[in-house]
Amino acid sequence: METNLKITARSASLDELLAVVALYLSPVPHRDTLRNWFDNAKIPRFKANPTAKRGGGIVFYSVSHVEKLLRSLTVKIQ
């Protein structure tokens, strides 16, 4: 599967990343599964409010790292 899509975002929330994941995997895995994959792959994540240790704020993931992970997964699956 060859995609010429150029995503210019540096970070995105998990909800926003579902659109990116849909380009690589069908059906799209559950949000908890994606979160586990991202944590296991040590994908950098950022909080909108870094002082909120628990619960508060949206978590953003590095889009380029997520794409790299998804490409490696699709190569292994095919």
d(CA 11, CA 29): 20
The two tokens of residue 8 are: 């210019």
Band (pLDDT 50/70/90 cuts) for residue 77 is low
| pLDDT in the model for residue 40 | 93
**What is the reported pLDDT for 57?**
73
Q: How does residue 7 score in pLDDT terms, banded at 50, 70 and 90? A: low
pTM above 0.75, yes or no: no
pLDDT in tens, 12-69: 888 888 888 888 888 999 999 999 999 999 998 887 776 666 666 788 899 888 988 8
DSSP 50: T
